[in-house]
Structure 1
């Protein structure tokens, strides 16, 4: 089950469509969906998580806590809508495009994709782009 939770004033306008899309990504990657919670928040909220749990004193757009077992995906994905908005401006894309990219990015991490090396980041971006095209 994919759920959306809010710690700020943001509200995802099309939860059912996004949930079905994320579920299709998981299935396409040959994984099984369990409980995945998206939590939308502001920079302050996510920064505190970044410091408290990861010892990173930086702003970020997404933090995912992966509780998956084998091929069954479960976890909590926290997204700062403030960072998404700023990144959308920086990358010259719409807020919605950047938001959907971050949404799928989190679940792709659960599927085993990494982004720490240039090669891994390139593959992650290719996967993001592929799945973004399935949403439109």
Structure 2
């Protein structure tokens, strides 16, 4: 049962890892899930484009790619997050960078918990779940 944080081609974002891990476990628990092995790989746009091309045959930049290795109610996965795209999205949507980063961090976990964002209805449910999770984060010391 571990959540780890790695970087590739970027400086580690300023997050409190213990608090962030506690939050992730709490959100997973809301969906009746436990944590297996979750690895966050913070990277730049070049790396996420490489991953997107190599594993998903997509030729575009994105903020997050989640590889799901979950088994039953134990969620596990590798979550790639482009800090470049998180930053540009925070500017485009005029949101705080840290808030956007935490939104993306929990977005990957929500995918591992079974939420999807393929349809418009699913996107709304995902956004609501992200907002709820961000509110919970504010309550964790």
TM range (shorter): over 0.9
The match for 2:83 is 81
Q: Scaled by the length of structure 2, what TM-score is found?
A: 0.94
Q: Scaled by the length of structure 1, what TM-score is found?
A: 0.97
Residues 45-54 or 3-12, more deviating: 3-12
The match for 1:25 is 27
After superposition, residues 109-128 of structure 1 pair within 5 angstroms as 109-128=111-130
The match for 1:37 is 39
Give unmatched runs, 5+ long, in structure 1. Answer: none
Distance between the aligned counterparts of 2:5 and 2:26, measured in 1? Answer: 17
Distance between the aligned counterparts of 1:8 and 1:17, measured in 2? Answer: 24
Counting matched residue pairs gives 136
The match for 2:61 is 59
After superposition, residues 90-129 of structure 1 pair within 5 angstroms as 90-129=92-131
Distance between the aligned counterparts of 1:81 and 1:90, measured in 2? Answer: 14
1:26-76 C-alpha deviation (Å, 9 max, x unpaired): 111110110000000000000000001000000000001000011110010
**Runs of 4+ in structure 1 over 4 Å off:** none
Residue 9 of structure 1, CA deviation: 3.0
Distance between the aligned counterparts of 1:71 and 1:15, measured in 2? Answer: 23
State whether residues 10 and 44 of structure 2, in contact with CA within 8 Å, keep that contact through their aligned partners in structure 1. no
CA-based RMSD: 0.8
Distance between the aligned counterparts of 1:36 and 1:86, measured in 2? Answer: 25
